[in-house]
Amino acid sequence: MKELFGSPGKKSGLILRTGQCVFAAASIGVMTSASGFSTTTAFCYLIASMGLQVLWSFGLLCLDIHALRFNRDLHTNIIVSLFVVGDWVTSTLSLAAASSSAGVMVLFTRDTNICMVDTNLSCDLFQISIAFAFASWFLLAISSYVMFWLVASI
Amino acid sequence: MKELFGSPGKKSGLILRTGQCVFAAASIGVMTSASGFSTTTAFCYLIASMGLQVLWSFGLLCLDIHALRFNRDLHTNIIVSLFVVGDWVTSTLSLAAASSSAGVMVLFTRDTNICMVDTNLSCDLFQISIAFAFASWFLLAISSYVMFWLVASI
């Protein structure tokens, strides 16, 4: 099996997983600290989806640390196939969640004046949270491509 | 190069491309026939994204017909690499567009009562259009995976 940037059990893979975890956790943190998020389903879905991504990325982060510490090889068919399915599911859900929240945010700020009228909504925090979610999705997408490439080139 | 379901120049590929084209065109048709869609950026973005998908899928559909009719082999590195990039870009844009519209739609129907209050909005048609967009994205996602698998297994 090829050795690629971001593949499991490598330092680049560890950096990617850490980035995914940090951005997803930041997205949840900022969104939950914003007032009025619970009135919009898309924002609640963003939190749920980012929560799943934190769990998934943190799990793989621990596996990477274990592999690096004890010099284990994670490039077996079963492990990489499992990673590829999980990565694709979480990345699709994350993109869907970030996009739906972004769609709602554009409606709030550009199509209507809800953000200006309803001062109870922390629109700036919503936008920061969505930006973090997109950053997290982007890093996860890179991981997914690498995993898919690894499993396809077996 | 492997011969897979949905690969270029095969009947299954032709069926997938036709499905993508038909669903994307149906999504545009239904959305443009709905009154009040232009007030929401997400719905306009859906039309733009589905328009791009129709152009892309129709181009590949014509290529597939040409290959089937004249018995040409489309499984060369350059052609499949070009397909894989185009497929991934359009599928990411389509999922983002469908999700953002779905997020806005949930806001209109569940979080608020905008659909009940504003009778000028054709909420049923919006929902049908979004469903078509998701169907089109799903077929495009299958094509993208097949293409990526083909290019990775060269």
Q: Which chain A residues are closer than 8 Å to B93 by Cβ? A: none
Distance between CA A56 and CA A53 in Å, rounded? 5
Confidence band of B2 (pLDDT split at 50, 70, 90):
low
pLDDT band at A56 (very low <50, low <70, confident <90, very high): very high
Instruction: Using the predicted structure, report yes or no on whether residue B94 has a pLDDT greater than 90.
Output: yes
The mean pLDDT value for B100-118 works out to: 91
> Which ipTM was obtained for this model?
0.89
| Residue B148 is assigned to a structural domain of this protein | no
Q: Which residue has the higher pLDDT, A151 or B3?
A: A151
Phi, psi of B113 (to 5 degrees): -115, 35
Question: Would the pLDDT of B68 be above 80?
Answer: yes
Q: Which of B40, B103, B110 sits opposite A111 (nearest CB)?
A: B40
Q: Is residue A68 part of a domain?
A: yes
**C-beta separation of B78 from B63 below 8 A:** no
* 3-state SS class at B4: coil
Cβ contact B41–A111 (<8 Å): yes
CB atoms inside a 10 Å sphere around CB A138: 16
Residue B152 lies in a domain: no
Answer yes or no: is pLDDT of B97 > 60: yes
Contact A100 B95 (CB under 8 A): no
> Residue A126: its chain B contacts at CB < 8 A?
none
Query: Which pLDDT value is given to residue A6?
Result: 73
Spacing of C-alpha A16 from chain mean position? 11
Q: Which residues of B touch A95 (CB under 8 A)?
A: 92, 95-96, 99
Q: How confident is the model at residue A1 (pLDDT cuts 50, 70, 90)?
A: low
How far apart, in whole angstroms, are the C-alpha atoms of residue B62 and residue B111? 44
Task: Kindly report the average pLDDT of chain A as a whole number.
Answer: 89
Tens digit of pLDDT for each residue in A69-122?
888 777 777 888 888 889 999 999 999 999 999 999 999 999 988 888 888 888
Q: Per-residue pLDDT for B137 more than 90?
A: yes
pLDDT value, residue B118: 85
- A 10 A CB-CB count for A15 gives 15
pLDDT class for A42, splitting at 50, 70, 90?
very high
Residue A30 counted as domain residue: yes
Average pLDDT of span A37-45: 93
Give a yes or no: residue B2 inside a domain: no
Domain annotation covers residue B34: yes
What does the pLDDT read at residue B71? 80
In the structure, what pLDDT confidence band is assigned to residue A45 with cuts at 50, 70 and 90? very high
Q: What is the pLDDT of residue B121?
A: 87
At residue B114, φ and ψ (nearest 5 deg) are: -60, -40
Q: Does pLDDT of B111 surpass 70?
A: yes
Q: Say if residue B52's pLDDT is above 60.
A: yes
Residue B98 counted as domain residue: yes
Q: What is the pLDDT of residue A55?
A: 96
Pairwise pLDDT comparison (B146 vs B19), residue with the higher score: B19
pLDDT at B11: 84
| Residue A53 pLDDT level (bands cut at 50, 70, 90) | very high
Instruction: Please answer yes or no on whether B96 and A99 come within 8 Å at the CB atom.
Output: yes
Facing A96 at nearest CB: one of B99, B110, B111: B99
Is the confidence at residue B9, as pLDDT, over 80?
no
Positive or negative, the CA dihedral B121, B122, B123, B125 is: negative
Q: Give the up-direction half-sphere exposure of residue B32: CA atoms within 13 A in the CB hemisphere.
A: 10
Residues sharing a CB contact under 8 Å with residue A30, sequence separation 6 or more, in sequence order: A125, A128, A129, A132
Q: Which pLDDT does position B1 carry in this prediction?
A: 55
Task: Let me know the angle formed at the C-alpha of B110 by A116 and A103, rounded to the nearest 5 degrees.
Answer: 50
Helix axes B123-152 and B41-69, enclosed angle (nearest 10): 50
Mean pLDDT rounded to a whole number for chain B: 89
- Interior/surface letters A76-115, b for 16+ CB within 10 angstroms, e for the rest: eeebbeebbebbbebbbbbbbbbbbbbbbbbbbbebeeeb
Q: Which residue do the tokens 């898919």 mark? A: A148
- Best mutation site among A40, A90, A107, A110 for testing chain B: the one with the most B CBs within 10 Å? A107
Confidence of residue B50 (pLDDT cuts 50, 70, 90): very high
- Counting the structural domains of chain B, the total is 1
Q: How far apart (Å, rounded) are the C-alpha atoms in residues B138 and B144?
A: 10
What is the domain range of residue B111?
A: 11-141
| Higher-pLDDT residue of B83, B49 | B49
d(CA B20, CA B6): 12
Q: Which member of B42, B149, B152 has the closest CB to residue A103?
A: B42
For the beta carbon of residue B71, count every other beta carbon within 10 angstroms: 7
Q: Which residues of A touch B153 (CB under 8 A)?
A: 152-153
Which residues of chain A make contact with B40, given a CB cutoff of 8 A?
107, 111
* Alpha carbon separation from A90 to A7, A45, A46 (Å, rounded): 17, 13, 12
Please report whether residue A1 resides in a domain. no
pLDDT of residue A4: 73
